[in-house]
Structure 1
Amino acid sequence: MKPQAPSAIETATRLAAGRLDAAGLLTETFARIEATDPTLRAFTARLDLPAALAQLPTLTGPLQGLPVALKDIFDTRDFPTRYGSALYPAEPSRADAAMVGVIRRAGGLIIGKSSTTEFAFLHPTVTLNPNAPGRTPGGSSAGSAAAVTAGLVPFSIGTQTGGSVIRPASYCGVTGFKPSFGLLPTSGLKCFSWSLDTVGLFAASVPEAAWFAQAVTGQALALDAAPAPKTWVVGVPEAYPWAELSPSARQAIEAGSQALKAAGADVKRITLPGWIKDAFDAQDIIQGYEVWRSLAWEVDHHPEALSDILRNYLLAARNITPAAYEAAQRTASEGRKACAEWFEGFDVLMTPSAPDEAPAGYGSTGAAIFNRAWTLLGVPCVNVAGATGVNGFPMGLQIIGAPHADRACLQAAAFLERALKPA
C-alpha cells in the first residue's frame, strides 16, 4: 500500500522545527506544477522558482512558507490580474487585495493566480477536473479547486457569491470551506455582489482547511487531533423547494446518513421552513441588482467584450427595481434572524453540495441551487468529499452550520469525513 502523504499541518510543523528543507520542498512543488499544469491549466500566472525561493526567508507565520494559490479575482502587484476576462490586460494591479497581506502575514507563499470564470460568473474557464475526466471542474473557483485536488498546492483561495466554493469542491472531490460572511476580507476583490461575495478556502481535508482558516483569521478554528466524544445532531432535509434530489444526490445523502449513524450521530429528518425558499429567491434579486452596478463600467463601455451569458444576465438584471431590492434585503435580514432560532433544533445540516456529479463536457459550470440560500444567510458551509454519484464521480456533502458557528461546522464536517472513510 502506498504510504499516505503527510498533511500540510504535519509539513508546517516539520518546517517550523527545522526537520524539513523549505527550499527543497518548494523546488518539488514547482516540479509538480510544471509537469501537470500545462494540461490541467489551474494557474493563469506563477512566480518563477528563484523569485519564490527569495521570498521564503521573509515568511515566518504559521504557514511556514507553504504555497497558496490565489483566485484571479483578487488584485495583486506581483501577478497579472484579469478577473477571467479578456477585457483586462495581463498586467499587475497597482495595489494588493487585503487577502494578499492576510496570507503573507500568516507565512503563506502566494505561488500564483488560479483560473476563474469571467468575473466569477458562469462563462467557463479552461481548467480541467482532476477527478472527473471530461467533466467540468465547476466554477467560479475552478482553478483553486483543481490546484488543490491535483496536489499542486496544499491550499488555495476562492470566492462564493452563489455556490462558487462549495460546488467546484464537490465536483472535484476536495474540501471547500465557505466561512461565515465577513470572516475574511473582500477589499481588493473584483466585486460582483457586495452583500454576498464571500472569501473561501480549499484544502485536502477538513482538518487542513480548519488549520488554514485559523492561520489566516487568527481565530480558534483548528481542530483537535483527538476530538472529545460528542453525539452530533445532524438535520437532513426530506425535500427542497428548488429541486428534486437527483439519483446521485440521493445516493450521497444515503451514504452520508448511514456513515453518520454508524459513527454515533443522531440523524434527524427535517422539513425546511418556508423562509428558506424566500431566502433562495432573495439571493437572485440581490445579486442581480448589485452586479448591474458593480460591473457598470464593463457593460456600459465594453459590452462586446463580455460573454453572451454575462452580458445577457446584466441586461436582464438592470430591470430589478430598487423596491424589489429593498424587499429582498428585508427578506434576507428576516431569514438571518430566523436562522439562529431554527438551528436550536440540531447542530448542523447535511445537504448535497451540488445537484449532481459534475456535468459532462465544458459548456456549463453547473448550478448553485444547493448553495444560494446559505450564502445569502451568511452561515458557514463545508464541502465534505468522500461520497460518489451513480457514475462513480465525486458527489459532495455540504455541512451547514449555525450563524457564526464556524468551528462547530468544521468539527461536524471532520466527523462526517472520518465516518465516510472505509475501515
Structure 2
Amino acid sequence: MLSLLDLSARIDAGRLTPEGAVGLVREAIASREPEVGALVCVDPAPAVPASGPLAGIAVGIKDIIDTADLPTRMGSSIYENWRPLADAPVVARLKRLGAVPLAKTTTTPFAFLDPTRTRNPSNPGHTPGGSSAGSAAAVAAGMLPLALGTQTGGSVIRPAAFCGVVGVKPSFRLLPTVGVKCYSWALDTLGLFAAGVADAAHALALLADRPAIARAGDGGAPRIGILRQEFCATPEPEAEAALARAAAAAERAGAAIRDLTLPAPFGEAFAAHGTIQDYEARQALAWEYAAHRDALPPRLRAALDEAQGIETAAYDAARRTAHHARRGLKDVFSENGFDVLLTYAAPGAAPAGLDHTGDSRFNRLWTLMGVPCVTLPVDRTEAGLPVGVQVIARFGDDGRALAAAGLIERALRG
C-alpha cells in the first residue's frame, strides 16, 4: 500500500516531487484498476500544487461527494451526466492543503446496499464491502494513499475491515457533509481510508484543522473495554479470534484490559437505527423516488417503498431512544474508567460473492452514537482475506481512538 506519510517524507527530503508522487499513483492505477474496478473516473490533468502539507498526495473521492473538476454520479444512472459547479467543502479543504483530488471512487447507488462492480483486492471473488467500496479497495490495492468515504450504517468501518486498511469514522460532524449527497442527516458522517494509523491520524488532523488529533498518543497506555455487542448476532470465529489477538497485543503494550457488557438501552438504540435512517432517507431521496423510482436499484427501491409507511411518531420515539443512549454512553466510559472500547469491525472476513456488501450490525450503533471509530487490520484468514477490529472513543475524542489503534497496530507488528 502507498503510505501518505512516506510519500510526504520523500517529497520533503527532495527525493520525490509532488508531480512524481502523483505519477506513482497513476502507475499503480494503471496496474491494479483493471482487476479491482475501484474508480469511476480519473482526472487526466489535475492541478498539482508545489507546496502545502499534503502536496503531492493524490486522493480518491467517494462519488457522492461533489467535485467541480470531476462528475458526481451517486452510483446511479439518474446522475450519469451530473457535474457540480462547486467542490464540497471537504474537497476544497484538501485542495487548500495541497492535495490532488485525482479520482472519484465507486459507491453503491446513493450509498445504500446495492453493490458496485468493485472487487476485493485480496480476492476478486469476495465483496469489498460498501457503500464506500471504491475508496477502501483503492487504498488496499495500493492505488491511492488516501481516500474519502461516508458512513450512515457501517460504510467506512466495514469495507476497511474487509479490504485490510485503516478506516476512520470521525465524531459526528467533525468533517462537513455539505456537498455530500444526503441519505440520513442524523447519521451521515464523512470518513477516510489510509494505509496505516499514523497516515489516517495525520490526514484527519489536517482536514479537521485540529493538530492535537495526530498528537494524542502521549497520554500513556489506555484503559480498554472489550465489547462483544451481545445485542447483535454472534460473529464468525475469525472475528472473535481477531478481537482476542488485538486485546492480547494491547495488553502486551501496557494497556489495561477488561470486559464490558452494555446496558439494555444500547440494544434498544441499535434497533432504532433503521427507523431513523429510513425515515430520513425517504425525505432525502424524495425527488429520486418520485421522479425516477424505476431507475433505482432493487434493494434501495424496496427500502424506500417500505419507508413510506414509517410514522413520524415512530421516528420521534427512535430519536429519543438514541438520545438517551448517547447520554448513557458518557457514563459507560466514565463509570468504568475506560479510555476506549475494542470490538468487532465486521462479523468476519469479506463474504464470497459480489451481489451484496456484507453486514453492518457491528457498526450501526456507533454511527448512531456519533462517536469516533477506527478500523484496524489484525489477521488474515487461510484464504488471505483480512479481518479487523474496531476502536471506539468518546464523542470528540478522535485522537484517543487513533492513539489506541496505533498502540495496537505497533504491538501486532512487534
TM class by shorter chain equals over 0.9
Asked if 1:269 corresponds to 2:259, the answer is yes
Q: Does 1:360 align with 2:352?
A: yes
Structure 2: runs of 5 or more not aligned: none
Deviates further, 104-113 or 388-397:
388-397
CA distance in 2, matches of 1:221, 1:130: 33
**2:86 equivalent to 1:95:** yes
Q: Which amino acid aligns with 2:180?
A: L
Deviates more, 1:237-246 or 1:188-197: 237-246
Q: Output aligned runs, 1:20-419, within 5 Å.
A: 20-48=16-44, 51-52=45-46, 55-57=47-49, 60-224=51-215, 227-228=217-218, 230-344=220-334, 345=336, 346-389=338-381, 391-419=383-411
Q: Could you tell me which amino acid in structure 2 is paired with residue 316 of structure 1?
A: E
Q: Is the 8 A contact 2:177 2:189 kept in 1?
A: yes
- Residue 79 of structure 2 aligns to a residue in which SS? coil
The 1:17–1:93 alpha-carbon spacing in structure 2 relative to 1, beyond 3 Å, is same
| Deviation for aligned residue 1:39 | 2.0
Q: Which letter maps to 1:60?
A: S
SS in 1 for 2:16: coil
- In the TM superposition, residue 418 of structure 1 has moved relative to its aligned partner by 1.1
- Residue 189 of structure 1 aligns to which amino acid in structure 2? V
* Matched residue count: 412
In the alignment, is the contact (CA less than 8 A) between 2:135 and 2:193 conserved in 1?
Answer: yes
Percent of aligned pairs with the same amino acid: 45
Q: Is the CA contact 1:279–1:331 (under 8 Å) kept in the aligned structure 2? A: yes
Q: In 2, are the aligned partners of 1:136 and 1:360 still within 8 Å (CA)?
A: yes
Q: Which amino acid aligns with 1:317?
A: A
Cα distance in structure 2, aligned partners of 1:111 and 1:338 = 42
Secondary structure of the residue that 1:146 maps to in structure 2? helix
* TM-score (norm: length of structure 1): 0.94
Following TM superposition, by how much is the alpha carbon of 1:268 offset from its aligned partner in structure 2, in angstroms? 0.4
Work out the CA distance in 2 between the residues paired with 1:40 and 1:292: 32
- Cα distance in 2, alignment partners of residues 101 and 362 from structure 1: 33
Which stretch shows the higher mean deviation, 241-250 or 297-306?
Answer: 241-250
**1:139-171: CA deviations, max 9, x gaps?**
000000011111111000000000000000000
Q: Which amino acid aligns with 2:398?
A: D
CA distance in 2, matches of 1:6, 1:126: 23
1:10 maps to 6
Partner AA of 1:237 in structure 2: L
The alpha carbon displacement at 1:363 in A equals 1.0
Secondary structure of the residue that 2:265 maps to in structure 1? Answer: helix
Moved more, 399-408 or 23-32: 23-32
SS of equivalent to 2:66: coil
Q: Distance in 1 between the 2:230 and 2:196 partners?
A: 28
CA shift, 1:224, in A, is 5.0
Measure, in 2, the Cα distance between the counterparts of 1:239 and 1:141.
Answer: 24
Q: Would you say the 8 A contact 1:75–1:93 is kept in 2?
A: yes
1:358-383, Cα deviation, whole Å (9 max, x unpaired): 01010110111000000000000000
What secondary structure, in the 3-state scheme, does the structure 2 residue paired with 1:302 have?
helix
Unmatched segments (≥5 aa) in structure 1: none
Q: CA 1:311 to 1:15, structure 2 compared with 1: closer, same or farther past 3 Å?
A: same
Change (3 A) 1:274 1:178: same
Q: CA deviation at 1:86?
A: 1.3
**How many angstroms apart in 2 are the aligned matches of 1:56 and 1:94?**
20
Q: Deviation per CA, 1:93-130, whole angstroms, max 9, x where unpaired?
A: 12221221111112110001000001000000011111
- For residue 395 of structure 1, give the secondary structure of its aligned residue in structure 2: strand
Any idea what the Cα deviations from partners look like across 1:252-297, whole Å, max 9, x if unmatched?
A: 1111122222222211011111121122112111001000011111
| TM-score, normalised relative to structure 2 | 0.96
Between the aligned partners of 1:98 and 1:87, the Cα distance in structure 2 is: 24
